[in-house]
Structure 1
Amino acid sequence: MVKIKITNCHIHTFNEENQVIDSGEIVIEGDVISYVGEVRDGENDKKDFSRVIDARGKVCLPGFINSHTHAPMTLFRGFADDLPLMTWLEDKIWPAEDKLQGEDVYWGTLLSCLEMIKSGTTTFNDMYFFLDDMAKAVGESGMRAVLSRGLIGLEERKAAVGLEETEKLIGSWHNAFDGRIKMMLGPHAPYTCPPEFLIKIIEKAEQHKLPLHIHLAETKFEVEQSKQLYGMTPIEHMEKLGLFNYPVTAAHCVHLSPGDIEILSRNKVTVVHNPGSNLKLGSGIAPVIQLLEAGVTVSLGTDSAASNNNLDMLEEVRLAALIHKGVTGDPTVLPACKALEMATREGAKSIFCEGEIGMLKTGYKADLILLNLEKPHLCPFHDLTAHIVYAAQSSDIETVIIDGKVVMENREIKNLDQEKIMYHAQKMASILTGGIPCEGASN
């Protein structure tokens, strides 16, 4: 069994007490953490370990959890900017997605995995199509992922195909790659899934005992449309249909009434805040402070690189910490530690992986990152948590370990060919969108 020791580092555990260790070490045995604590005298014999990593001048954190994204949409980065959501979807994204093939999704997913690993993300929660190709890419990358086949019920034939594919995908990929891949059910949104179709999806959730991943209350238009069609908000509508009788990860939840927040809290629905995407699409700012006050689990996601336009979770942490101070006029709300919790511990809760990832704790999966603190923009050193949230850059993340395996060290990705992935992604994107390949792209 591979046994790794990381020593002489700051450790931000994000355990239940948010314990911070100034000079500590972590021992990894196989794919789990077997020790987190102070540096132990007499435990430095290298022969006891496959590797000893001296992390002096660095902080060790749990890997970031991107609780809502659409990884293959990196192929549409920069393709449809400065547009409202429905125009963005109907006029640009959906027509381009109609051209997608499995190979496009494979290379787009690998490009996302490259970007996420380089910015410290170790787990992502995704909804998309061609999941066989996505799962293959995730397996090769070494990342951890929760995948949902996006389900849209506007056309009867396509809706039936989506449900059939979901059934097969669950059988093929749930708990694949030593458990690194898990599956959810993925109804896209109430405005693309009529009630009778949502009921069929709910039946699948009951059959397979799996959570659901859905977009909810992202725009004012969606809420008003729901009121016109059903006489209730999207949140009220989902509760009436019985969706919330099952574990649900709800992305966005920007436009909520006090009654909606009470429903989400009472039903223990977890909410994914996507500040960058919501700002860029002009969708608004989710009432995160009210959700937290109501006891709702709130995590962070980037949404897709087509609407963000990156997958940098540290940027989302900083945005979340800043914008709610601005909109409330209260600089004490959503402090730095809480923002980081939303990207780690709360992320695990949000995608129903609590007890497995999201903390640096004995028995948890060895998913962690090392961030170099010895940088000009992190000097002088006063407050570790504040530095990570308000001053650090994702490029400061030097080492990423997932499932006990070093997937990036000294900024070098170990098991993916960056140049080859970028070449194929650019080629696929140019065909899909009619764009011009970047000069210098080579195989």
Structure 2
Amino acid sequence: MSERAIAAQLLIRHGYIITMDDAATVIEDGAIAIGQDGRILAVGADREIASRYAAAREIDAEGAPVHPGFVECHLHASYHLFRSVLPDQLVESDSFDTFEGHFYNTVTDEDEYLSVFLASMEMVRNGSTCFMEAGTILTPEMGAKAAQEVGIRAILGDAFIWDQPQGFSQGKLEPDDGCVTCATQARLHTELARAPRTRAEALATLGVQAKRNADPDALVRGHVAVLGLGTASEELMMEAKACADAAAVTLNIHQSYSPADTEADRQRFGKDPLVHLHETGFLDRNVTFGHANHLTDAECEALLDRGASIAWAPGASMMWGHGSSLHGRHAELWRRGANVALGSDSPNWSNDFDLWRQTNLAVMAARDVHMDRTYLVAEDGLQMATRAGARAVGLEHEIGSIEVGKRADLVIHTLDRPEMVPSTNMIRNLFYASRSKSVHTVVINGSVVLEAGRFVNLDERAIYARVREASRDLLSRMGHVVAANDVGRSMRRR
């Protein structure tokens, strides 16, 4: 190190730097200097940065794309032990019996820990460096432990903030469902042994996870999550909003997911749900609505007026046939200036935690429905997955772009993929061809978590074996039998 060189912890050189800054700056032969605190010290041309900084370690990107880590804004991280168990022919109203009636009264803390661990690994491998969980981990401490050990940035909510859980089943039932089904579903939801049953019980845990933010450098932080979908009274919703405002965090809530729950809210409020929430003061810039698949013109105006965010999960809607591609207003709202982020939902709804897939589905579906190739373009998708995501989780000043002072949450791709050859247009190749397949190295908070497609500090084979065993045990306790020979064949294929 020369006397004039500035010390850095890590120097990423010769990258095609997609900064996602206000000017959409792209640096074709760029470098990023990262300090000991995990923040970005400098970004610019490689020749300039390399002459000014000397680092303990250098990574040569070899001309491959480098971009901000993606931000997952809507997911359920504790279901991975029975991913893809729900058969394709299962109707959605029946699926909730499996989740609420069996899963949550069977799952253990160890199961949740392993599920979040596997979910975190999957996200990192696919280029996501931060996720906001939807408030459905029964023991958030297990989720925090798993996220910290994997090394991913996580934003957790308190579990099942609701005071009328029976509203969930009522909102999901089809109009011709009988009262017996309704009563059965309501009983199952009410009897979740480890979830709140009353407003007093919900208020007792409301805001607990937000206390994690006392440490501004913590990798795992908190927000306020309300389950929504008819399960929370207006009184509880307003208490949650006040709690989120006081803690200066995001309030995350499911909203207008299916036609059934949307109509149930409309009947409950006597008008369009978001119009009502605008009038009560609930609708605000720090609120992020999961899904929001079914909005009216008036609701779009209300959302634009207050600056609330949407976490669009196109794969989940497509999986269950909810029609957000056809009827959703996400792309239109984005073009009008709304903050639209992305999410993968759960391992039985979109079935993978790959935000590259979600952003690609969002762009392609919008083009197809509007019959307009230019309606959304690759850059729109990248911005949804980075800057819009950072704002939706309340961290727009910390992550989402490659800028001096921000956290070094970065994804380095490789050009050694057939999809990246020839590199005629780096962003087009990346977005439409390689996507997560070319993810090579992932840096979170300045630390290399994934290198050359392998986790630096994890024994992956041991983890997968442990998860397979835990999954068999959980499914057995739930009454599902996984044939040992099927598991064996799966393992041999690997």
Q: TM-score, normalised by structure 2?
A: 0.84
Question: What residue identity is the alignment partner of 2:130?
Answer: T
1:45 Cα offset (Å)? 9.4
Q: Distance in 2 between matches of 1:416 and 1:162?
A: 36
Structure 2 contact 12–59 (Cα < 8 Å) conserved: yes
* Runs of 4 or more consecutive aligned structure 1 residues displaced over 4 Å after TM superposition: 91-94
Most deviating of 73-82 and 162-171: 162-171
Q: Which segment drifts farther, 30-39 or 84-93?
A: 84-93
RMSD: 2.3
Q: Is the 8 A contact 2:359 2:381 kept in 1?
A: yes
Q: 1:77 to 1:176 in 2, by over 3 A?
A: farther
Aligned partners of 2:284, 2:31: CA distance in 1, in Å?
42
Q: Deviation of residue 140 (structure 1)? A: 1.2
Alignment pair present for 1:266 and 2:305:
yes
Are residues 1:55 and 2:64 paired?
A: no
Q: Could you tell me which residue of structure 1 aligns to residue 366 of structure 2?
A: 324
Superposed displacement of residue 42, structure 1: 8.8
Paired position in structure 2 for 1:89: 96
Deviation for aligned residue 1:198:
2.0
TM-superposed deviation, 1:158: 5.2
Shift of 1:55: 1.2
CA distance in 1 between partners of 2:224 and 2:48 (Å): 49
Q: Secondary structure at the match of 1:251?
A: strand
How do 1:41-190 and structure 2 match up within 5 A?
A: 43=50, 48-82=54-88, 83-92=90-99, 94-127=101-134, 128-129=136-137, 130-149=139-158, 150-154=160-164, 157=197, 159-171=199-211, 173-175=212-214, 178-190=217-229
Change beyond 3 A, Cα 1:199–1:44: closer
Runs (5+) with no aligned partner, structure 2: 1-6, 165-189, 191-195
Cα displacement (A) at 1:301: 0.9
Q: Using the alignment, how far apart are the partners of 2:473 and 2:49 within structure 1?
A: 59
Q: Does 1:291 align with 2:337?
A: no
* Paired residues of 2:43 and 2:49 also in contact (CA < 8 A): no
Match of 2:239 among 197, 200, 210: 200
Matches within 5 A, 1:311-390: 311-390=353-432
Q: Give the match for residue 3 of structure 2.
A: none
Please name the residue that 1:306 is paired with.
348
* Deviation readout 1:232-267 (Å, 9 max, x if unpaired): 233233334432246101111110001011111111
Q: Which has the higher contact order (CA 8 A, sep 6+)?
A: 1
User: Does the CA-based 8 Å contact 2:18-2:27 persist in structure 1?
Assistant: yes
Does the 8 A contact of 1:175 with 1:181 survive in 2? no
Whether contact under 8 Å (2:249, 2:394) holds in the other structure is: no
Report whether the alignment pairs 1:5 with 2:15: no
**What's the offset of the Cα at 1:167?**
4.1
Stretch deviating more after TM superposition (288-297 or 19-28)? 288-297
Would the alpha carbon gap of residues 56 and 44 (structure 1) be closer, same or farther in structure 2, given more than 3 Å must change? farther
Q: What is the distance in 2 between the residues matched to 1:365 and 1:167?
A: 25
Query: Where does 1:12-31 land on structure 2 (aligned, <5 Å)?
Result: 12-30=18-36, 31=38
Figure out how many residues of one structure are paired with residues of the other and give that number: 440
Question: How many Å separate the matches in 1 of 2:245 and 2:331?
Answer: 32
TM-score using structure 1 length:
0.93
Q: Which moved more, 1:404-413 or 1:72-81?
A: 72-81
* Deviation (angstroms), 1:84: 4.2
Distance of aligned partners of 1:365 and 1:45 in 2 relative to their CA distance in 1, 3 Å threshold: closer
Write the distance in 1 (CA, Å) between the matches of 2:247 and 2:99. 35
* Letter paired with 2:209: L
